[in-house]
Structure 1
């Protein structure tokens, strides 16, 4: 009998990708979301206990991806943010404990680093040792939910995922050099976290980048020169498309901890975008 995974937010971009990847890996997937979707079997608000209990029935693992996100800041009341991102998470964890769920995977965001992402004289090297400094209600509530997950009775993993939503190609290509991640890599990381029963902790999930920590001063001063030196084929592809190379980069996300603990190996980077996608 297949192990069972409950995934919340399965009608959204990340939740749907995670549900599909878990299904492909042999998990029995049960999805929950406020809106219908391909992977959503329980439609309802996770603030309601009956919805949570229905979603968690029979689950061995819960992947909690449902949340209000950064685009909702300023459009949704802060009390709503706390109720959805923190209150519903707390209720889900309580109900998961009662249901005997053995493992919790929380989908967080690199956005929680907040003000710590602002560079001084060099690009910020963003690993898990960087202290989060939330800048808005989204960051605050995601970090608060992380803390709830970390203190849950079940073994837990928090995945701080980098930017992974659709963007214009020149912007996407630039972000995939240092601060974005392919949605398929996010899903793959989640499958790894679900299967690695003894691994706990918080991990950045970002793309394959060509830079090292030693590049940070130069990336701040002349990113175009560093890109040309490190990945000349990418610089040439940008020039061929009349896309400007960035003059400065403010940060580089580091997924080394996830590579070591989970075996995470991102593959959907800037090279793939340049190979497979054409200008509109």
Structure 2
């Protein structure tokens, strides 16, 4: 199948394109900046670009991973988010329907599930988040536009019979998070695999599986499998390190040996079990894999690159 992959020069695209090829697909990459997996330089927000790619390349299905992201809020006006994240998605959906496609995979984000109250960690227990969580109250223009794009996918699936998978991926970016103060870098990424992270490799694999198996319209949370249960939410808020230590008895010593810290409190947990039930997809890297690497001295099973620069940043910087 000939797949149009938007966002092909980005962090996900560089891993997803070769996985699609390994699965036997031809890949046509579209991005606003050049890249190894990018065949066409342009934006899905421009309908003429989309129409030309479909006409010239014989596109048979779409994986829409291109977007402006949360860090881009500091560099782009709100209208740019609407143009790229909403209009770009609409252009691709319209082109896919016109071409008679039967499948469309949209890369969304768990960020749109986080209201300001959740972000501020209000309440006395961690919040358990899955596809039934609502009402959704995105806290910024990024989340608002991604939620709107999800709505367009739902509409076009219902009205045109387009099989559409919306993948709400949790964090897989390689750079540092400058909004968190007490745990940094690799330490933060390791602990986030407990409740709100996955590797970019697993994110890419989820898209390949969804492309093959999606029927109708479905939304999936895609994240590393959490070892926690709903019954843990109160303790996770007040004594996360204690819960982790009970679940993984050698975790405190392994972390201490590396000079790392376990989180004192966890305020949210992403439940990715629906993807496992309906797609047969389960992320291969979890917190246990981190501990295994710490025990053996093997490389950590996730990427950390504080110097990574996204394509949108490169474009904004000229």
8 Å contact kept, 2:164–2:214: no
Q: Does 1:155 find its partner at 2:155?
A: no
Q: Quick check: 2:125–2:234 contact (8 Å CA) kept in 1?
A: yes
Match of 1:230 in 2: 247
Map 1:140-219 → 2, pairs under 5 A: 140-152=144-156, 153=160, 154-166=162-174, 167=176, 168-198=185-215, 200-219=217-236
Q: 1:7 to 1:129 in 2, by over 3 A?
A: same
Q: Please give the secondary structure, in 2, of the residue aligned with 1:151.
A: helix
**Gaps spanning 5+ residues in structure 1: where?**
none
Partner of 2:130: 127
Gap change, CA 1:236 and 1:209, over 3 Å in 2: farther
Which residue matches 2:2? 4
Residue 199 of structure 1 and its aligned partner are, at CA, apart by 5.3
Structure 2 stretches of 5 or more lacking a match? 177-184, 306-318
> 1:248 matched to which residue of 2?
265
TM-score norm. by structure 2 comes to: 0.83
My pick for the range that moved more, 54-63 or 154-163, is 54-63
Aligned length: 278
Q: Please give the root-mean-square deviation of Cα atoms over the aligned residues, in Å.
A: 1.8
State which drifts further: 139-148 or 115-124: 115-124
C-alpha contact 2:164 2:215 (8 A) present in aligned 1: no
* TM-score between both structures, scaled by the size of structure 1: 0.94
The structure 1 segments of at least 4 consecutive aligned residues displaced by more than 6 Å after TM superposition are none
Instruction: Check conservation: 2:67, 2:84, Cα contact below 8 A.
Output: yes
Secondary structure of 2:250's counterpart equals helix
